[in-house]
Amino acid sequence: MDTLNEITDYANLLKLPYLKENLLKLLDNAKANDQTYQDFLITILKHEITLRDSKLQERRLKNACFPVIKTLEEFDLNFQKSMSKREFNELSELTWIDRIYNLIFLGPPGVGKTHLAIALGYKAVKEGYRVTFTTMDALMHTLKTAEISKKSKGMLNRILSSSLVIIDELGYLPITREEANLFFGLISTLHEQASLIITSNKGMENWTELLGDPALTTAVLDRLTYHCQVITMNGKSYRLEHRQSLFDQNA
């Protein structure tokens, strides 16, 4: 029993939680299956790696701050005809993240811009990329308060260390001159360092009005579109087409 305690203590010190929690089970299993010394060690190490990977993924998912989880499997391409199956598959492969390409999804409300952005981000998290989701509105708050708020500073640091940053809903709310400058600063910092997905209900020709200054808008677009795929999504609103009302059910 002393030896078992000693092993548990060492497992604890070495941060091997699987071994610590499952020592007796591992030993019983080894005996029952006549495991060799090598197999016994490999079993333990494999379990530790699996556990570590799933904990890291859990942390990445939490840090990504997705408002909801949406998946690529749930995305109905028959409904969103602006994109071909081939284009959809190419996006799904995520090679554009390694090549530091940006994606810009444009279109009216309800066409699936946020769904697609989250679904790609979620797949990226599962494949080991660091991802941060934010709305333009929340991003402005983060940038303006990063110096005075620990929470905002943490968020900004997460954004700056992400491989993929999703900025949802550019253009829904007006922004000030100061905010436009902060936005430009961030885009410049992330340029050629991380991929961005930006969604907007405004065409890029209207972004000057949005950012308030033609020179600044040109500078932002210059960086954003350097390596970039713009996807214009149109058609009907999925929400309106699939609207369910409470009293319709028995009609």
For binding to ligand ADP (CB under 6 A), which residues are involved?
Answer: 70, 74-76, 79-80, 107, 109-115, 238-239
- Of 115 and 223, the one with the shorter C-beta distance to Mg ion is 115
Tokens 């769904």 -> residue? 115
Select from 1, 34, 6 the least CA-distant residue to 19.
6
Find which of Mg ion, ligand ADP, none residue 226 binds, CB within 5 to 8 Å per kind: none
- Of 11 and 102, the one with the shorter C-beta distance to Mg ion is 102
CB 205 within 8 A of CB 79: no
- Of 80 and 217, the one with the shorter C-beta distance to ligand ADP is 80
Please select the residue that binds Mg ion; options are 80, 102, 114, 134, rule is CB under 5 A: 114
Q: For residues 228 and 223, what is the distance between their CA atoms, to the nearest angstrom?
A: 9
Find which of Mg ion, ligand ADP, none residue 121 binds, CB within 5 to 8 Å per kind: none
Select from 75, 93, 103 the least CA-distant residue to 232.
103
Q: Which residue is nearest to ligand ADP (CB)?
A: 112
The minimum distance between CB 239 and Mg ion, in angstroms, equals 10
Q: For residues 146 and 134, what is the distance between their CA atoms, to the nearest angstrom?
A: 15
Q: Which residues of 210-231 are buried (b: 16+ CB within 10 A; e: fewer)?
A: bbbeeebbeebbebbeeebeeb
The minimum distance between CB 210 and Mg ion, in angstroms, equals 16
- Of 75 and 207, the one with the shorter C-beta distance to ligand ADP is 75
Question: Footprint of Mg ion on this chain (CB under 5 A)?
Answer: 114
